[in-house]
Amino acid sequence: MSKTNFISLPFKIDGSQTGGFKVVDGIAKFSAAGIVIEFEAKIFGIMKTGVKEVRVPLLEIETVEVRRKFFRHTLEIWLNNFKTLNEIPNKDGRIVLQISKDDRARAEQVKRLLEKTRLEQDTIEFLKSPVSRLFGEDEETKEFKDE
């Protein structure tokens, strides 16, 4: 990761995710807080829609996968927030960012960063949990309360 504490990754989203009429170019910035996606669509390759920015908090990111298909590489992101998902061109409930072959290593770094941060966050939440929540309300737990 750079001194700026985020990893930037240029991407494209092809017409198959946008209804076929527009192509999207953008840059995604990944950090421990989540993702900032800046993009601009070109309708019929001519008319630009203007730059749009969407922020995706870490808690809304379910899964990130780096895939290689034929001659292209993608970074696929699944979210758990439908409203945020609909702000970004998506396909079948996931954001599919086409990346250059040269950026594949950086995409793998993004995946590791987000997985590590999520694991750390889940661990912190687990450690903050009250004991009663960890063990539930089974009979053995109730016996300890009565004593």
pTM of the full structure: 0.74
Class of domain 7-146 as given by CATH: mainly beta
Mean pLDDT (10-residue bins), the chain, 147 residues: 75 76 91 92 83 94 88 91 91 90 91 84 70 62 55
> For residue 54, what pLDDT is reported?
96
> For residue 134, what pLDDT is reported?
59
Geometric angle at alpha carbon 25, from 22 and 28, rounded to 5°? 135
Contacts 24+ apart (CB under 8 A), 106-111: 106/7, 106/9, 107/9, 107/66, 107/73, 107/75, 108/66, 109/1, 109/7, 110/7, 110/9, 110/30, 110/64, 110/75, 111/64, 111/65, 111/66, 111/75
- What is the b/e burial string over 57-78, where b = at least 16 CB atoms within 10 angstroms of the residue's CB? eeebbeebebeeeeeebbbbbb
> For residue 18, what pLDDT is reported?
63
Whole-angstrom distance, CA of residue 41 vs CA of residue 83: 19
Distance of CA 137 to the CA centre of its chain: 35
